[in-house]
Amino acid sequence: MATAAPKTPSPEIRSQIVASATKFFSRFGFHKTTMEEIARNIHKAKGLIYYYFRSKEELFNEVLRAELQAVKDELLVIVRSPDDAIHKITEYIRTRYELLNRAVNYHETLKADFFEKYHFVKDVRDDFDAFEQEQLTRIIREGSEDGYLQLRSIEPTVNVAMMIIKSIDIPLFLQDKYAEYEQTIVELLTMITRSFQNQRKE
């Protein structure tokens, strides 16, 4: 028997829908997942799903937003820590790759950049980029003020850092190279950290 749409939205039902969608999108991807499967998994009618989300695209956006919010929350712990800026930026980069390696819906949007544009995720992706820009600016400014970094201008430095950091998302996640290069990334970051620390001592 079909479940009638509630008179007022229920946060609990909305959460159930998002949890179910996360399960299916993460396992089968956007195109192979159907709204029927998502609804059936929580014993609801497909029509009820559309009461909360106007389309599969909107629901995928919500799943992606939640996935990236979890990444943001963990990265903010690093940014707000009392550690020095060089330790923060190396830990930020290491943790970023570790967390995004598990963010399979984010991976799908990277794949879509090559094969099929997911225009409907642009706002969520742009929001995550803006978040990263803001956090890297904060860390690099701290490093400049503390004397770890000698910079002519912070903004170009942040822009180049963003380009470098994001440039290996494709090989790490889509080509499944993260496990192969994880230790190398840690070693490189450790080397950079020691280099800046030694420069400051001098």
Asked whether the predicted pLDDT for residue 1 surpasses 50, the reply is no
Under the banding of pLDDT at 50, 70 and 90, the label for residue 51 is: very high
Under the banding of pLDDT at 50, 70 and 90, the label for residue 198 is: low
Tokens 């190398």 correspond to: 184
79 and 88 in contact (C-beta within 8 Å)?
yes
Asked whether the predicted pLDDT for residue 44 surpasses 80, the reply is yes
The whole-number pLDDT of residue 101 equals 97
More confident residue, 172 or 150: 172
The whole-number pLDDT of residue 7 equals 64
Asked whether the predicted pLDDT for residue 12 surpasses 80, the reply is yes
Summarised one tens digit per residue, pLDDT across range 178-189 is 999 999 999 999
Residue 55's alpha-carbon distances to 59, 83, 122, in angstroms, are: 6, 44, 16
The whole-number pLDDT of residue 4 equals 56
Residue 96's alpha-carbon distances to 44, 70, 101, 103, in angstroms, are: 36, 11, 8, 10
The whole-number pLDDT of residue 202 equals 56
